[in-house]
Amino acid sequence: MKLGQWIGLIALVLSLYILWQLREVLLLIFAAVVLATALNRLARSLQNLGMKRGFAVFLSVTIFFAGIIGFFWLIVPPFAQQFQELTLRVPQGFERFNSWIDEQITHLPEQLVTFIPDLNGLIAEAQPLFNRVLGNSFAFVSGSLVIVLNILLVLVLTGMFLANPSAYQKLFIRLFPSFYRRRVDGILSQCGISLERWVSGAFIAVFVVGLMSLLGLSVLGVKAALALAVLAGFMNLIPNLGPTMSVVPAMAIALLDSPWKPFAVLILYFFIQQAESNFITPVVMAHQVSLLPAVTLISQLFFVTFFGFLGLFLALPLTVVAKIWVQEVLVKDVLDEWTHNHNLDSELVMVSESPDINDTQDVEVTTNDE
């Protein structure tokens, strides 16, 4: 390799290392881009109704913050009350369960009693852990200063991107060579369209799942049904894992009423998840974005491994954008052109080595001279 090639390789490796060190910041910037894309779509819809751009953006941001405030207003107070009651009643439930086990063991033959594991010991060890998790879960989330600062950073960047999106797009395009800038502009336009489609499909799925959860929990008579339904809809933004995570607080609150209700809630969420994965998401997302289920799951595992919970939450939009860049840059601009140039070079070599074609060209030249 020549000196210039070595310098270019070293610069590329250093750039990748710097980007890797800044991966959390870049992920927050991408979260702001996704949020700005969603609000920009809403603002354009309001502009189509005859509003000016500035007022449409202001109204979109107002609707967004009203939704955030409403979300926490619906979720936090009922959950805090129910989980506080849960921490008091769960130990009583464990004691009743222990008494029921002891009563059942007394009716069993002595030969079978020796093979039964010490469930009382296991429950006694699990009870403090369960109480500690319930007591510290909300304190951990609410007391994390880093999470609050990250949210504020995302909101500030979202406002900046939303105020003048074209300026930031032009700034990003200028990072590429001049001959490739028009191509990058087209790729960014495709990414914006795909993100808008994903946002639309995701919110439709969130609304349907939340409505189904609200109806089911209301029929079962579970406390804080509205808060649990809103949480179930919001967690549906995380494919595959979100619905599983949302069933835990629903089962815990259902345990306050009767021992059988958690199992009924589990069955309800199972059917909702089946309907969402087999009917709602395929129908909605088929018209929005096309991603294979295995690709979605692999992307979740990849992003949660390297970026944590935020990577899990943004796995799907990240995969949508990455798919476009890979398809347009790597496949179309590199691999397809590479194959085309290789075939062209092979044809030129075959032409230059063919004696018949050379003789024909000589005859044509002689004829023209005559």
pLDDT given for residue 24 in this prediction: 84
- Looking at per-residue confidence, does 104 or 24 come out higher? 24
Q: Region 246-256: what's the mean pLDDT? A: 81
Residue 123 has pLDDT above 80, yes or no: no
Contact status, residue 320 vs residue 291, Cβ threshold 8 Å: yes
Is residue 364 predicted with pLDDT exceeding 80? no
Looking at residue 69, what is its pLDDT?
86
Q: What is the pLDDT of residue 276?
A: 76
User: In which band, very low, low, confident or very high, does the pLDDT at 140 lie, cut at 50, 70 and 90?
Assistant: very low
Q: What are the start-end ranges of the E strands in the chain?
A: none
Residue 127 has pLDDT above 70, yes or no: no
Q: Of 177-181, 251-255, 278-282, 349-353, which gets the smallest average pLDDT? A: 349-353
What is the Cα–Cα distance from 236 to 208, expressed in whole angstroms? 10
HSE of 86 in the Cβ direction (CA atoms, 13 Å)?
24
Closest CA to 51 of 43, 61, 41, 39: 43
Round to whole Å and give the CA distance between 13 and 27: 20
Compute CA 192 distance to the chain's CA centroid, rounded to the nearest angstrom: 16
Mean pLDDT across the stretch 249-267?
Answer: 82
Residue 82 has pLDDT above 80, yes or no: no
Q: What is the mean pLDDT of the chain?
A: 75
- 70-107 residues labelled b (16+ CB within 10 A) or e (exposed): eeeebbeebbeebbeebeeebeeebeeeeeeeeeeeee
Sequence letter at residue 159? G
For the ranges 44-48, 82-86, 236-240, 318-322, the lowest mean pLDDT is seen at 82-86
**Residue range 311-320: mean pLDDT, rounded:** 83
* Mean pLDDT in residue range 135-159: 68
Q: Which amino acid is at 1?
A: M
Rounded to an integer, the average pLDDT of 195-210 is: 84
Place of tokens 């009693």: 113
Give 368 or 33, the one with higher predicted confidence.
33
Token reading at 292: 């294979």
Mean pLDDT across the stretch 164-192?
Answer: 89
Distance between CA atoms of residues 331 and 333, nearest Å: 6
List the structure tokens of 277.
């994965």
Which whole number is the average pLDDT over 217-244?
82
* pLDDT (average), residues 13-29: 84
- Cα dihedral angle (232, 235, 239, 243), rounded to 10 degrees? -40
- Burial class (CB within 10 angstroms; exposed 0-12, middle 13-18, buried 19+) of 21: exposed
Indicate if the alpha-carbon torsion angle 260, 265, 266, 267 is positive or negative: positive
Lowest mean pLDDT among 93-102, 106-115, 183-192, 334-343: 106-115
* pLDDT, position 215: 92
% residues pLDDT > 70 (the chain)? 68
Distance in angstroms (rounded) separating the CA atoms of residues 154 and 147: 11
> Using CA atoms, how far apart are residues 36 and 30, in angstroms rounded to an integer?
10
Residue 112 has a pLDDT of 53
Q: Which two tokens stand for residue 22?
A: 């800044």
Q: 75 pLDDT exceeds 70? A: yes
pLDDT at 273: 83
Instruction: Please determine, for residue 261, whether its predicted confidence score (pLDDT) is greater than 80.
Output: yes
229 token code pair: 């339904």
Residue 46: pLDDT over 80: yes
pTM summary value:
0.67
Return the closest-CA partner of residue 34 out of 76, 64, 5.
Answer: 64
H or E stretch covering 151: helix 145-163
